[in-house]
Structure 1
Amino acid sequence: MATFIEIQGARIHNLNNINVRIPRGMLTVITGVSGSGKSSLAFDTLYEEGKRRYLMFSGTQFIVDSTAHFDSITGMSPTAAVEQRIIRQSNPRSTVGTRTKIGNLLAVLFASYGSRHPDYEDGEPLSMEYFLRNSPKGMCVKCLGTGQYHHLDEEAIVPMNKPIKDVFDGFIMKHRFYRSSFKKFCELYDVDVNETIGTLSEEVLTLFKYGCRRSGFIGAIVVFHDIYKHSSSENNRHNGADKVVLWGVRAERIACSKCSGHGLSEHAIHTTVAGKTISELEQLEIGELLQVLRAFKDELPSSRALLDEMTLKLSCMSEVGLHHLSLSRQVPTLSGGEIQRLFLASYIIAEMDSIIYIFDEPTIGLHETEKALLIRVIRSLVKRGNTVVAVEHDEQFMRAADYIVDIGPGAGVNGGNRIFQGTLRQFMSCGESRIAPYLSGERSLMVKQQYKPIDEYKMLTITNATLHNLKGITVSIPLGVMVGVAGVSGSGKSSLIHHTLVPKLKQLLRGKFVYEDDDNDLAIEANEAMISGTEPIKRCIVVGQRPIGRSKTSCPATYTGIADRIRALLARTEEAMAHGYAAGLFTVNSEGSCKACKGEGVTHYHGGAGNFVEVECELCSGTGYAEEALSIRLDGRNMIDILEMSVSEAAIFFGRQQSEAYDRTIHTILTTLERVGLGYMTLGQKTTTISGGEAQRIKLAKELCKPSGRDMVYILDEPTTGLSFADTEHLISLMQQLVDAGSTVIVTEHDPSVLSNCDYLIELGPGGGREGGEVIATGTPSELIRHEHSIIGSYLRKAIG
């Protein structure tokens, strides 16, 4: 068997025809600055080729790849990858239990050994489907398994003093879809539309609200629900910043009252095993659930094999640092790092060998104390005879690697070269690398020497925070400074900031609140917390890590709005005006799309057995644009040429004041993207290929381009995700600029280099889950170093030096 995986001539994206050797049966870290080409090598080359070969020989699917992105790869074996940018989810029914399949095992346990409450005994035998919220038999009929629904004030929707004809500003009477059935309803029940709703009899009022089968009228409340869902969907698609308000009626997302937020049917809720319901077990933290299931083995000896399988999976999840989660925890609420560790647990359970495992920053979301455990777990995969390749920036992880591959030296067109391959000791003396000097101690990250003073009269205070594991804590966050929120995984950081402070600020600030991650609206959970001290805040911007863009054609240019301005510039060129071309010609979503592939750049062919093959469109050569759209050039560049530029190249192109391409707004946006460390990214990069950390910085740049001033509040969620040492230094500088301008930055973070540059720290803990939820230390980084209860303090001492 080959001792190395040999990659010859890798040239996808910015890779410059490089040759790389990766030792088999070892832990290899691929490092380099952001955008250097690490993921192109690990995922787009190594993983994709391993997957292609497996599928080619398995007979399950055939693949047509018109372009080879390398000369050869030898020493391969099957590959498995966990890439943070492709595993984000938004389905509220997807939980830790469904993702790990432990929920299915619990459902089997309850179907086999469950005892139903006599009041819910219907003679039907219990089956697994009764205990799955994704099943028609198992889901709550009110919330359809989501555990939440939009609460609407019916009295506000149909006020008794309003004339019937004026309901929803006359919408029902005017809209052609409802008009005829409503007219029939009025004729059937002799309803005078000029009278008020309060004049209707109780029977007719009920029919008016909820629908009448005889007339076909679906009811005013149902009409409102339908319109609300449509408006809410539109609002989310266009990154709306606030709740949908229709005819003065607002809707709040709340826990379902019928199932108490569990999402399960009455049969499931009223069936027990050893006195426990499935909901009670799903809400336990994994550590507690392990104890309960082990006790079940004595009470239910015949279920031992099933319980052994569940405890094995739960033990693996605990090993990778997920002990604080519960099976009922919704996957969309997990961080990218937590999701990756869910997959990692499944790999350990599988007990396979001779596999190439590829990870994308597995240390994301982990406290410094937890990284050693993760490294030990990943090394156990290596001991079983597997090869592990990780794209990683973390110093502790790099020092644990057997082998280092450095890609660079810079990003984008300035990267894509193999700078180094070899051991860590050899890497330390690599003069060309931008990473090695930080490991050798030759360079170190900036450390704040003076902390900005705290104004005791400008404090944002959270009182009685009890959500999830928070133990009724009161926390004061100083305004006008950089505030870091630290703590081990599951200590309560997200519960405090993103699930308590953020929803409460949204309620209080309304139009002054910006939150682009609001896909499913912010669920207002049973939350007794109170917020005070918001008066000085002029605007609050929350920047999270959810992917940006929802369409196949979405890219940084479209997301930031510069694509519209580029199209306008193209439409104003002499040639475009001579042909009568409008701006719509320069988008694949309108007139400019290729007639053969409809703007996708590929054509789809059915390959049998439900499989489809994508082949580059011959008519447009994969661009997605019609020929006439690409015939127009702006200062020598057509739309494709422009989209293929990096942010840094485009900043120069659109910043030349004497050229026809000059646009001050575009230049400002692009230079801001450079400031957040994204100069390497191309304008046309598909948003589906953008990592969580990159997405967060694009959102931040978009906000920084808007008019701002003092008294802004920026809330950031682990912004160092995907950043190298040098990029992290750049981000710290940017956050400090915001604070120097009179704004507040609240950052949830594990990286000691970021926390050591905060003016004030709030540390939660001491542990995760039930062992956390308390404030264990507050103060400046220097004060936390001396604090006897601080856990992050010892790591801050190393960072500060």
Structure 2
Amino acid sequence: DIPKNKFVVVTGLSGSGKSSLAFDTVFVEGNRRYVEGMSSFARSFLDIAAKPDVDSIENLSPPISIDQKSVIRSPRSTVGTLTEIYDYLRILFANFGESHCPKCNALMNKKSNKDILLEIKKMPPKTMLVIMAPYGKKDKNIIETINQIGQLGYARVRVGEKIMTIPEASNFILNNEVGGEADIVIDRVILDSKDKDEERIMDSIETAMKVGGGSLRLMLDNKEIISYNRDFVCEKCQIKIKEITPRHFSFNNPEGACDECSGLGLKMKISSELVIPNKKLSLAEGAIKPWGSVGGRNGNSGQGMQLLAALSKKLRFSLNVPVNKIPPKKLEIILYGDENYDFGGVIGLMEEKYKSTKSDHTRSEIEKYMVSEICPVCEGKRLKREFLSVLLNGKSIDEWVNMDIDSLAAYLENSKSGQNQNKIIGALTKEIGGRLQILQKVGLGYLSLSRGTQTISGGEAQRIRLATQIKSKLTGIIYVLDEPSIGLHSRDNKRLIETIKSLRDRDNSLIVVEHDRDFIKNSDWVIDMGKGAGEEGGEVIFSGTVERLL
């Protein structure tokens, strides 16, 4: 018997049948029965495992297997995406981050029409307010700009820091050097303390935003000028960002991912060292490895070698001298091409073939000569520059995810205590902090959220999945784990055991395949498989409490 709602450790020699009992019997049968409870339509989309070779299993609950193999090993998956912490960070940055210009780092602000109206309502009574829309461009002819404004039906403009009528502006331009930009006067209002005529002001704001292409200016008492933008705009660099949403911080979304590396942070590049590994060979002897040797299918009888032969006559080099004897400039043309010589280059031709081919075999052959390098545009940060320039507490989202989990948890805690947060930020940071704490409890505090799932071990992947299950707070489940202590430092064992016990305390059953002494000592029930391995295994030689075992 295996007791329910207990922490059960299945131990024994390697090959003695521990995994066969826990995974191939308990988990498979529990999963099979759960699936059989679904409709026939739902079952048609699922693979139903064969019934294990057992007489009967009673009182089974729905099982969840947390092994070391089933984690997604994708270059687009990270610890942050796997634990869903990155999703909360995207929401946090999209709603509360400060956008900065990616070129000059200046702060970029935007205001909605309602925000602008609220600011106007707070202005003191008797304030003389002029609502204006910027029109034209600095490099454009100012006379054309003024004529266009007149054709639009507006009577006044602001040119050279003065408000004047259209005819006055035309005369002013003839006698002064003025740029091509002017401000159209949309409305002039003197604010009343009792009746600020909100409807009229709102109409004027909407008109100014429409005419000004998303920008407007307010002149206060003929002195102060305040600029507003519907989008994030850098006045100096003229960079405009229309909107910032959570999807713009996703490297798996084209709107946010770096265009150069498509959000991978790495770029595959054909290596000249792999293309010509032996520079003591001549081109005729097959120095260019992808093209093969003399007489080969892709050798000097192929199109590539014909192009090289034609190039050798133009550049005056021999195909029969070792590559290391060819002058560097000529070798660079051989590899990367030159338009002046009507040659695309060995690497250029390979890159073209790699992009155009539909053959998986051809692509895999070319990939043998490729190396991955950090993307030169995003510098491995995966996102577009404009979204990496959105800062929260002075740090970009890339800086947040590159901190290890211990440091990020401490940073969040200090941020909460150091300032008064609004309720939404508080709720988001609480959720993020809670998930980070669970990862710390399972001994993963040294990982960063940016760590790719391709580079984590089976034990780390299993503990990440365990952390997500703890957060789900399910009850009445049978959890089956496969040696979760693998790769874990002994000092973190205690925290991991306490975490597993917390699952048990929610009325879940835990079956853990494990050799570790600490796990066995802290378990509620031990099943020892034996007596030997292989054909000599598969027998339960002990089943009971730790006290009885000792």
Superposition pairs of residues 245-256 of structure 1, within 5 angstroms:
253-256=372-375
3-state secondary structure, aligned to 2:443: coil
Superposition pairs of residues 415-494 of structure 1, within 5 angstroms:
415-428=537-550
3-state secondary structure, aligned to 2:500: helix
The equivalent of 1:73 in structure 2 is: 57
**Shift in Å at residue 255 of structure 1?**
3.2
**Shift in Å at residue 171 of structure 1?**
3.1
Seen in structure 2, the aligned counterparts of structure 1 residues 342 and 68 have a Cα distance that, compared at 3 Å, is closer
1:387 aligns with 2:509: yes
The equivalent of 1:130 in structure 2 is: 248
3-state secondary structure, aligned to 1:305: helix
Superposition pairs of residues 779-794 of structure 1, within 5 angstroms:
none
RMSD, aligned α-carbons: 4.2
1:96 aligns with 2:96: no
Contact 1:130 1:138 in 2 (8 A): yes
Seen in structure 2, the aligned counterparts of structure 1 residues 163 and 252 have a Cα distance that, compared at 3 Å, is closer
The equivalent of 1:268 in structure 2 is: 387
3-state secondary structure, aligned to 1:358: strand
Superposition pairs of residues 45-444 of structure 1, within 5 angstroms:
45-59=25-39, 60-62=42-44, 63-65=47-49, 67-87=51-71, 90-119=73-102, 121-149=239-267, 168=288, 171=291, 192=311, 194-196=313-315, 209=336, 220-225=346-351, 253-297=372-416, 298=419, 300-301=421-422, 302-428=424-550
**Shift in Å at residue 53 of structure 1?**
2.3
Contact 1:163 1:195 in 2 (8 A): no
Quote the Cα distance in structure 2 between the aligned partners of 1:234 and 1:399: 53
3-state secondary structure, aligned to 1:375: helix
Seen in structure 2, the aligned counterparts of structure 1 residues 61 and 179 have a Cα distance that, compared at 3 Å, is farther
Quote the Cα distance in structure 2 between the aligned partners of 1:405 and 1:75: 18
Seen in structure 2, the aligned counterparts of structure 1 residues 64 and 349 have a Cα distance that, compared at 3 Å, is closer
Q: Which amino acid aligns with 2:65?
A: A
**Shift in Å at residue 168 of structure 1?**
2.8
Consecutive unaligned residues of structure 2, counting only runs of 5 or more, are 104-238, 318-325
Superposition pairs of residues 688-699 of structure 1, within 5 angstroms:
none
Quote the Cα distance in structure 1 between the aligned partners of 2:54 and 2:354: 52
Contact 2:476 2:509 in 1 (8 A): yes
The equivalent of 2:16 in structure 1 is: 36
**Shift in Å at residue 266 of structure 1?**
2.0
Quote the Cα distance in structure 2 between the aligned partners of 1:178 and 1:61: 58
Superposition pairs of residues 601-616 of structure 1, within 5 angstroms:
none
Seen in structure 2, the aligned counterparts of structure 1 residues 271 and 180 have a Cα distance that, compared at 3 Å, is farther
Quote the Cα distance in structure 2 between the aligned partners of 1:261 and 1:44: 42
Quote the Cα distance in structure 1 between the aligned partners of 2:306 and 2:511: 68
Q: Which amino acid aligns with 1:168?
A: I
Superposition pairs of residues 634-645 of structure 1, within 5 angstroms:
none
Contact 1:164 1:197 in 2 (8 A): no
**Shift in Å at residue 274 of structure 1?**
2.5
**Shift in Å at residue 370 of structure 1?**
1.6
Quote the Cα distance in structure 2 between the aligned partners of 1:170 and 1:332: 29
**Shift in Å at residue 310 of structure 1?**
1.1
Contact 1:79 1:357 in 2 (8 A): yes
Quote the Cα distance in structure 1 between the aligned partners of 2:493 and 2:429: 29
Q: Which amino acid aligns with 2:62?
A: P
3-state secondary structure, aligned to 1:75: coil
**Shift in Å at residue 103 of structure 1?**
1.4
Deviations 1:536-592 (A, max 9, x none): xxxxxxxxxxxxxxxxxxxxxxxxxxxxxxxxxxxxxxxxxxxxxxxxxxxxxxxxx
Q: Which amino acid aligns with 2:79?
A: V
Number of equivalenced pairs: 385
Percent identical residues: 33
Deviations 1:82-103 (A, max 9, x none): 112443x543332211211111
Deviations 1:408-444 (A, max 9, x none): 111111111121211122223xxxxxxxxxxxxxxxx
**Could you tell which deviates more after superposition, 297-306 or 175-184?**
175-184
Consecutive unaligned residues of structure 1, counting only runs of 5 or more, are 1-20, 237-243, 429-801
Q: Which amino acid aligns with 2:401?
A: E
Quote the Cα distance in structure 2 between the aligned partners of 1:48 and 1:222: 52
Q: Which amino acid aligns with 2:56?
A: S
Quote the Cα distance in structure 2 between the aligned partners of 1:360 and 1:328: 25
**Shift in Å at residue 119 of structure 1?**
4.0
Contact 1:130 1:267 in 2 (8 A): no
Contact 1:404 1:420 in 2 (8 A): yes
**Shift in Å at residue 118 of structure 1?**
2.2
Seen in structure 2, the aligned counterparts of structure 1 residues 223 and 71 have a Cα distance that, compared at 3 Å, is farther
Contact 1:163 1:197 in 2 (8 A): no
Q: Which amino acid aligns with 1:171?
A: W
* Higher RCO (C-alpha under 8 Å, 6+ residues apart): 2
The equivalent of 1:26 in structure 2 is: 6
Quote the Cα distance in structure 2 between the aligned partners of 1:178 and 1:281: 53
Q: Which amino acid aligns with 2:256?
A: G
**Shift in Å at residue 380 of structure 1?**
0.9
TM-score by length of 1: 0.42
**Shift in Å at residue 66 of structure 1?**
5.3
Seen in structure 2, the aligned counterparts of structure 1 residues 423 and 127 have a Cα distance that, compared at 3 Å, is same
Seen in structure 2, the aligned counterparts of structure 1 residues 254 and 354 have a Cα distance that, compared at 3 Å, is same
Q: Which has the larger radius of gyration?
A: 2
Q: Which amino acid aligns with 1:305?
A: A
Seen in structure 2, the aligned counterparts of structure 1 residues 90 and 97 have a Cα distance that, compared at 3 Å, is same
Quote the Cα distance in structure 2 between the aligned partners of 1:34 and 1:171: 49
Q: Which amino acid aligns with 1:124?
A: K
TM-score by length of 2: 0.60
Contact 1:42 1:391 in 2 (8 A): yes
Quote the Cα distance in structure 2 between the aligned partners of 1:75 and 1:303: 45
3-state secondary structure, aligned to 2:548: helix
Quote the Cα distance in structure 2 between the aligned partners of 1:402 and 1:278: 43
Quote the Cα distance in structure 2 between the aligned partners of 1:168 and 1:413: 54
**Shift in Å at residue 28 of structure 1?**
0.6
3-state secondary structure, aligned to 1:73: coil
Contact 1:286 1:314 in 2 (8 A): yes
Quote the Cα distance in structure 2 between the aligned partners of 1:144 and 1:374: 37
3-state secondary structure, aligned to 1:122: strand
**Shift in Å at residue 115 of structure 1?**
2.9
Seen in structure 2, the aligned counterparts of structure 1 residues 322 and 208 have a Cα distance that, compared at 3 Å, is closer
**Shift in Å at residue 252 of structure 1?**
5.4
